[in-house]
């Protein structure tokens, strides 16, 4: 292996692990929503034609791709870890979904007022950090759907957990 190739591989690995670490420290490590739960989560959002969905930390893009396949729905994912971001770009291009995008951006810097529905799968401490921004920016009538973790000290509009071994999904309506 030439020194130049070794250097390129080193830079790629540093970028992959470094950005994964940043994501884990900012809000949550990359762990995908279980395939069997994707539709359960989206049905909680009660998506209507013409609506815009955000996924905060969109991972491999499975949720935004599934949302964008529904009639009249646009989806934007925010992701700061390089490997899932690249993976999601490939997924969207492969499926020719022009109404879905993934931004390489920290979602704490996104403008939530543009979203009709926000979905997330984060951590308890990230939900606590996110709460003031949700309350400040989400517009009336919009919905937050959170996989696994609830918003602290706010009563969920609905909690879906069909069986005790299912992961809970929390719906909050603004």
Ligand X SMILES: C[S@@+](CC[C@H](N)C(=O)[O-])C[C@H]1O[C@@H](n2cnc3c(N)ncnc32)[C@H](O)[C@@H]1O
Q: What phi and psi, each to the nearest 5 degrees, are found at residue 113?
A: -70, -15
Q: What phi and psi, each to the nearest 5 degrees, are found at residue 67?
A: -65, -40
Region of 142 please: left (phi>0), alpha (psi -120 to 50) or beta. Answer: beta
Give the range of 2-10, 53-61, 87-95, 157-165 binding ligand X by CB under 6 A: 53-61
Work out whether 168 is an interface residue with ligand X (CB under 6 A): no
Residue 100 C-beta: closest distance to ligand X, Å: 13
Q: Which of 30, 133, 137, 168 binds ligand X (CB under 6 A)?
A: 30
Residue 49 C-beta: closest distance to ligand X, Å: 23
Pair 118, 142: CB distance under 8 Å: yes
Per-position DSSP letters for 37-72, written without gaps between them: GHHHHHHHHT--TT-EEEEES-TTSHHHHHHHTSTT
Q: Which of 31, 90, 135, 159 binds ligand X (CB under 6 A)?
A: 31
Work out whether 104 is an interface residue with ligand X (CB under 6 A): no
Q: Which of 106, 150, 168, 174 binds ligand X (CB under 6 A)?
A: 106
The pair of structure tokens assigned to 102 is 């993934």
Work out whether 78 is an interface residue with ligand X (CB under 6 A): yes
Work out whether 91 is an interface residue with ligand X (CB under 6 A): no
Tokens 């071994």, located at residue: 165
Q: Which of 54, 59, 144, 149 binds ligand X (CB under 6 A)?
A: 59
- CA dist 61 and 104 (Å) reads 12
Residue 98 C-beta: closest distance to ligand X, Å: 21
Where does this chain bind ligand X (CB under 6 A)? 23, 26-28, 30-33, 55, 57-59, 62-63, 78-81, 84, 106-108, 121
């Amino acid at each position: 292996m030439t020194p130049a190739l070794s250097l390129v591989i080193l830079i790629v690995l540093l970028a992959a692990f470094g950005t994964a670490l940043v994501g884990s420290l900012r809000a949550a490590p990359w762990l995908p929503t279980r395939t069997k739960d994707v539709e359960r989560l989206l049905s909680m959002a009660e998506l209507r034609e013409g609506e815009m969905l955000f996924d905060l930390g969109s991972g491999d893009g499975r949720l935004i791709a599934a949302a964008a396949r529904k009639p009249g729905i646009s989806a934007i994912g925010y992701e700061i870890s390089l490997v899932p971001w690249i993976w999601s770009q490939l997924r969207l291009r492969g499926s020719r979904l022009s109404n879905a995008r993934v931004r390489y951006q920290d979602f704490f810097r996104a403008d939530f007022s543009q979203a009709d529905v926000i979905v997330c799968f984060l951590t308890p401490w990230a939900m606590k950090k996110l709460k003031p921004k949700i309350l400040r920016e989400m517009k009336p009538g919009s919905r937050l759907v959170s996989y696994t973790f609830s918003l602290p000290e706010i009563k969920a509009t609905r909690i879906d957990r069909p069986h005790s071994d299912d992961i809970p999904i929390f719906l909050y309506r603004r």
